[in-house]
């Protein structure tokens, strides 16, 4: 493809509305539409009216398409992302708290430095090294204070858990060698450790999807059947837990 100069001019809000009208979009309330177009970038909204186009080359819309339909889709997308991100954060914070609380009370301040507590096949030394590097780079005042004041390679479990990513937390939990240790956390949520390990793995995948959704929009991804299949697969763990009597409300 031969490149060419970009010659399309910047449009005023009124011109944006006129252009959309020319392409077949209806407006029930022009003043309201103008307000939203002044607050939400026209180019951002193009992703949301894409499903309503009858011809992508000419950008003409299907008969009956309204700006209000597009706006509803945008608001749904935003609220869906906020709800999912809020739910993931609540669950993640709760598991962090129980992981550090249960291990700290059973094994003391630094169970994460004791390789004997983790599966032999897991690269415990490598994980400690990675976590130490992240602690060194951390801008958290409490982490830098603990590293400067105490001799241990890492801060105590209840502090270091706060700089673990969700993926790291999931791996540290899943690789505890003793199932009884994993159950200390799982039983708080009325499930066994096998279910919670699976749930944590799924939660990490969900977080990746949410970050992708945040970048590209939930609606755009959900329009693709492969994404729908993945969402269904990832949600199935929650449904299985609920079927087995697990109380998801512990996290909500």
**239 and 124 together in one domain:** yes
Which pLDDT score, from 0 to 100, does residue 84 have?
80
Q: Which of 124, 203, 121, 219 is nearest to 170 (CA)?
A: 203
Which pLDDT score, from 0 to 100, does residue 226 have?
44
Structural domain includes residue 6:
no
Structural domain includes residue 7:
no
Between CA 149 and CA 180 the distance in angstroms is 33
Structural domain includes residue 187:
yes
Which pLDDT score, from 0 to 100, does residue 219 have?
53
**233 and 112 together in one domain:** yes
Torsion-angle region of residue 27: left (phi > 0), alpha (psi -120 to 50) or beta? beta
Q: Is 196 helix (H, G, I), strand (E, B) or coil?
A: helix
**27 and 91 together in one domain:** no
Mean pLDDT per 10-residue section of the chain, whose length is 252 residues = 92 98 97 97 92 94 96 89 85 94 98 98 97 95 96 97 94 97 95 93 80 59 46 42 42 44
Query: How many domains is the chain partitioned into structurally?
Result: 2
Q: Which residues contact 45 (CB under 8 A, 6 or more apart)?
A: 37, 70, 74
Between CA 201 and CA 179 the distance in angstroms is 17
Which residues are bridge partners to 61 per DSSP? 53
Structural element, H or E, at residue 60: strand 60-61
Which pLDDT score, from 0 to 100, does residue 231 have?
43
**20 and 80 together in one domain:** no
Which pLDDT score, from 0 to 100, does residue 227 have?
42
pTM above 0.75, yes or no: no
């Amino acid at each position: 493809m031969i490149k060419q100069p970009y010659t399309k001019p910047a449009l005023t809000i009124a011109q944006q509305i006129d252009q959309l009208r020319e392409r077949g979009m209806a407006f029930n309330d022009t003043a309201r539409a103008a307000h939203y177009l002044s607050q939400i970038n026209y180019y951002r909204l193009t992703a949301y009216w894409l499903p309503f186009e009858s011809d992508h080359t000419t950008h003409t819309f299907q008969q009956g398409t309204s700006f209000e339909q597009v706006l509803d889709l945008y608001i749904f997308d935003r609220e869906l992302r906020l709800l999912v991100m809020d739910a993931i954060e609540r669950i993640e914070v709760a598991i962090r708290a129980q992981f550090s609380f249960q291990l700290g009370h059973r094994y003391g301040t630094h169970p994460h430095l004791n390789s004997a507590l983790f599966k032999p096949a897991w690269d415990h030394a490598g994980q400690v090294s990675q976590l130490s590097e992240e602690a060194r780079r951390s801008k958290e005042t409490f982490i830098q204070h603990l590293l400067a004041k105490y001799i241990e390679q890492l801060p105590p479990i209840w502090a270091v858990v706060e700089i673990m990513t969700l993926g790291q937390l999931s791996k540290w939990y899943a690789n505890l060698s003793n199932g009884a240790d994993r159950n200390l956390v799982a039983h708080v949520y009325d499930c066994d450790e096998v279910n919670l390990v699976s749930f944590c793995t799924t939660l990490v995948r969900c977080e990746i999807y949410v970050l992708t959704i945040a970048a590209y929009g939930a609606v755009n991804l959900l329009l693709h059947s492969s994404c729908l299949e993945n969402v269904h697969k990832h949600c199935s763990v929650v449904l299985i837990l609920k079927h087995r009597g697990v109380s998801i409300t512990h996290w909500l």
